[in-house]
Amino acid sequence: MATKLAEKKMISGDPVYNSQTVARLINRVMRSGKKGAAYKAVYDAFSEIEKKGLNPIETFEKAINNVSPKVEVRSKRVGGAAYQVPSEVRGDRRTSLAIRWIIAATAKKSNKEYRHFSQKLAAELIDASNGSGEAVKKKDTTHKMAEANKVFSHFRW
């Protein structure tokens, strides 16, 4: 029985840059409803990027574009076996995955090198915008996995 799809909730832009993508980053960084702390972490990271002589919004957008995956693998059961079927990643999910991977890579960075989360986030955004870093490696791994399982693409749904 078909059901109605949920309506997409539109979020407004962040107060400083008026960007929906930055607002989505802030919402993903937020823990336990502490949005003020998330704002501070993200904006401090952007000021760190600015100290290095780069435009924070351009760096952030370039990082998102470099980390966004074009294909991913999804499990599909056929008979008794589960196959990893490559499928294209569309619009919003692409950006969501990129933001999620950037935050995960930021959390992985060692505390010896950086004192605060904002410094780690700034470093990861700069690395991602340059085409290196942990988040870009995650994208490459996902693309390699999709390439390796290309033979199962006829199972697409």
How far is it, in rounded angstroms, from Cα 105 to Cα 52?
Answer: 20
What does the alpha-carbon distance between residue 50 and residue 52 come to, in Å, rounded to a whole number? Answer: 5
Closest CA to 68 of 90, 84, 87, 50: 90
* Residue 68 to residue 77: CA distance in whole angstroms: 27
Domain boundaries, the chain: 20-155
**What is the C-alpha radius of gyration for the chain, rounded to an integer number of angstroms?**
18
pLDDT digits (tens, 9 = 90+) for 131-147: 999 999 999 999 998 88
Class of domain 20-155: mainly alpha
Task: For 21-53, write each residue's pLDDT tens digit.
Answer: 999 999 999 999 999 999 999 999 999 999 999
Tell me: the pLDDT tens digits for 79-107?
A: 888 877 888 888 899 999 999 999 999 99
